[in-house]
């Protein structure tokens, strides 16, 4: 497949062109439910910039219960026709969408910056990942959804085909409001399902624009519908309906459990649930690791995107022999972080998504101030006063047991370990029940192999940071409390959205196996 185009942020000419296009794209954005036949929507919701809540970004109209019912009826009616369309034809539409999205990169970057508070570099990566998802699942559909001839005795033909399950609900998060949103939707569409998409409430505007782009590319409006709104009205209303054949979800464990219970309580065909949830992601560094590299990768893994990545490092386990040096260097590196407006190229750390997130992180920091040793706290500039900013922090813990949940933000926890405690470190990590990402820093191959063999995680990275999984290269997803699998952006993802059918024909009933006449004597 064609690789997504990047932008050289070190090239002055490209930067000037990008800046002009991003500034031209900024406007008051709006969104509303996209449901053919629907008219009466819910209330209006104002959207403001998380980096400066005084700045209005746009507004959207939330979906009503009537919109949910209409969308389900539309999807059930439209899905058979979409499934009957050859997979190659569905793939062409997704590839056209990828081309359109790539051509409009600055517009979608602007929305990621203003609505989601993502930095410019993160916004470039966001658009590229979305483009890659569209092209990857298009290629996968062509390959996996072609009829497969199966072996059988002479006088019989056997064929296996994949088909869409029906109506799929895609519930996406705010931290990757374009890439994960389009990844879920594209996979469900490629497999022949009708899709009802519910984006996170915090990032409705960019999801609306992405949905309109898919319609422009050729996805029928009744095959892909868009329902913004809260979980109680939209999410619960969809997942409890017996017409829903499957749910793709990325978000918290609590919401995933609620969806699972709701689906299980229905007296209807058992739905497919694909859930990617959280992680208590660790980075293990032994005494052979280069301290400079450990610190560089720990800072990127913990504080990039203000720590709001599913893959972000939450706990750094550092061997006691180098722990003091690493923590000293970590404090110095944190002082170099630029915190502020994500629309500025110089910014390293932007805001967290909203006030609820900020309050939760500050409450955790207050607990850590009492129960752990503060290694360092970065200074927030005065320019952050009107935004949802949380100062990056690092704390030294006595043990991993001091953390009882994932802390989704720019807070890194550090734990020392001695040379004879590696297996205990591994057991402690496995004991959390999470299994999403792991970083290993060591120059000893046997140590790397030992850790990789015994830690139960979905994505393991050695001597690099542990964020930024690439579609088709590092399929992303965890195990245990981190999700159901299969991995997004991997070869096993698309079949989870499909059902299998076999066709067996007794060819002797029509005069025998004509292929035998072509065999050489």
Tokens describing residue 401: 């047991």
**How many residues are there in the chain?**
521
CA–CA distance, 437 with 485 (Å, rounded to integer): 14
**Cα–Cα nearest to 415, from 427, 404, 401, 405:** 401
336 is catalytic: no
Q: What is the DSSP letter of 233?
A: I
User: Taking Cα atoms as reference points, which of 395, 425, 430 lies closest to residue 413?
Assistant: 395
Cβ atoms 128, 359 nearer than 8 A: no
Q: Give the separation between CA 13 and CA 23, rounded to whole angstroms.
A: 16
Residue 161's DSSP bridge partners are 501
Phi, psi of 143, rounded to the nearest 5 degrees: -75, -45
> DSSP 3-state assignment of 401?
helix
Determine the straight-line distance between the first and last CA of the chain, rounded to whole angstroms.
43
**164 in Cβ contact with 187 (< 8 Å):** no
Full DSSP string of 65-115: HHHHHHHHHHHHHHHHHHHHS-HHHHHHHHHHHHHHHHHTHHHHHHHHHHH
CA dihedral 118, 123, 126, 130 (to 10 degrees): 130
Does residue 291 contact residue 502 with C-beta atoms inside 8 Å? no
Residues 6+ positions from 394 with CB-CB distance below 8 Å: 302, 327, 330, 331, 334, 374, 375, 376, 377, 411, 412, 413, 414
Residue 157's CB is within 10 A of a number of other CB atoms, namely 14
Q: Return d(Cα 54, Cα 58) in angstroms, integer.
A: 12
Q: Is 276 a catalytic residue?
A: yes
Q: Which residues of 299-331 are buried (b: 16+ CB within 10 A; e: fewer)?
A: bbbbbbbbbbbbbbbbbbbbbeebbeebbebbb
Query: Tokens for 26?
Result: 């900024």
Q: How far apart are CA 99 and CA 117, in angstroms?
A: 25
Q: What is the DSSP letter of 483?
A: B
Q: Please pick, among 170, 310, 384, 388, the residue that the annotation labels catalytic.
A: 310
Helix axes 120-144, 105-116, angle to 10 degrees: 120
Helices 291-303 and 320-335, axial angle in degrees (round to 10): 50
Q: Distance (Å, rounded) from C-alpha 239 to C-alpha 168?
A: 10
**DSSP 8-class letter at 339:** B
Pick the catalytic residue from 102, 276, 384, 406: 276
Residue listed under structure tokens 């033909």:
157
As a whole number of angstroms, the distance between CA 495 and CA 50 comes to 37
Residue labelled with tokens 């805001």: 351
The residues annotated with a catalytic role in the active site are 276, 310
């Amino acid at each position: 497949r064609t690789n997504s185009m990047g932008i050289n942020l070190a090239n002055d000419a490209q930067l000037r062109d990008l800046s002009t296009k991003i500034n031209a794209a900024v406007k008051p954005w709006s969104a509303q439910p996209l449901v053919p036949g629907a008219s009466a929507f819910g209330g209006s919701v104002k959207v403001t910039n998380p980096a400066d809540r005084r700045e209005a970004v746009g507004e959207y109209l939330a979906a009503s219960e009537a919109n949910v019912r209409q969308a389900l009826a539309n999807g059930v009616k439209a899905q058979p026709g979409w499934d009957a369309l050859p997979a190659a034809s569905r793939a062409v539409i997704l590839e056209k969408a990828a081309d359109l999205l790539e051509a409009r990169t600055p517009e979608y970057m602007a929305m990621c910056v203003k609505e989601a508070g993502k930095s410019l570099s993160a916004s470039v990566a966001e658009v590229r990942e979305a483009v890659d998802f569209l092209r990857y699942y298009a290629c996968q559909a062509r390959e996996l959804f072609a009829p497969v001839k199966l072996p059988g005795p002479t006088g019989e033909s056997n064929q296996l085909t994949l088909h869409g399950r029906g109506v799929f609900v895609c519930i996406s998060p705010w931290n990757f409001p374009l890439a994960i949103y389009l990844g879920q939707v594209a996979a469900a569409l490629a497999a022949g399902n009708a899709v009802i998409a519910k984006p996170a409430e915090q990032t409705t505007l960019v999801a609306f624009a992405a949905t309109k782009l898919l319609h422009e590319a050729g996805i029928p409006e009744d095959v892909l519908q868009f329902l913004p709104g809260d979980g109680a009205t939209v999410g619960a209303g969809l997942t409890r309906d017996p017409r829903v054949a499957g749910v793709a979800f990325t978000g918290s464990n609590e919401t995933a459990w609620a969806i699972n219970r709701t689906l299980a309580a229905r007296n209807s065909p058992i739905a497919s649930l694909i859930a990617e949830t959280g992680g208590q992601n660790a980075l293990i560094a032994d005494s052979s690791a280069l301290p400079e590299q450990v610190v560089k990768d720990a800072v990127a893994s913990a504080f990039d995107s203000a720590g709001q990545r599913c893959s972000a490092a939450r706990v750094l386990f550092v061997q006691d022999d180098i722990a003091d040096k690493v923590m000293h260097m970590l404090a110095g590196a944190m002082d170099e972080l630029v915190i502020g407006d994500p629309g500025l190229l110089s910014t390293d750390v932007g805001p967290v998504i909203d006030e609820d997130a900020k309050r939760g992180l500050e409450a955790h920091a207050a607990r850590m101030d009492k129960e752990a040793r503060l290694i360092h706290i970065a200074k927030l500039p005065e320019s952050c006063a009107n935004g949802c900013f949380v100062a990056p922090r690092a704390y030294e813990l006595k043990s991993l047991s001091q953390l009882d949940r994932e802390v989704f933000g720019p807070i890194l926890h550090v734990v020392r370990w001695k040379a004879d405690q590696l297996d205990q470190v591994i057991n402690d990590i496995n004991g959390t029940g999470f299994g999403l990402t792991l970083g290993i820093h060591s120059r000893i191959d046997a140590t790397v192999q030992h850790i990789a063999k015994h830690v139960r995680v979905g994505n393991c990275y050695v001597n690099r940071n542990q964020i930024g999984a690439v579609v088709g290269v590092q399929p992303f997803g965890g195990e245990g409390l981190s999700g159901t699998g299969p991995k997004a952006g991997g070869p096993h993802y698309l079949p989870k959205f499909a059902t299998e059918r076999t066709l067996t024909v007794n060819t002797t009933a029509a005069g025998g196996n004509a292929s035998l006449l072509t065999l050489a004597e």
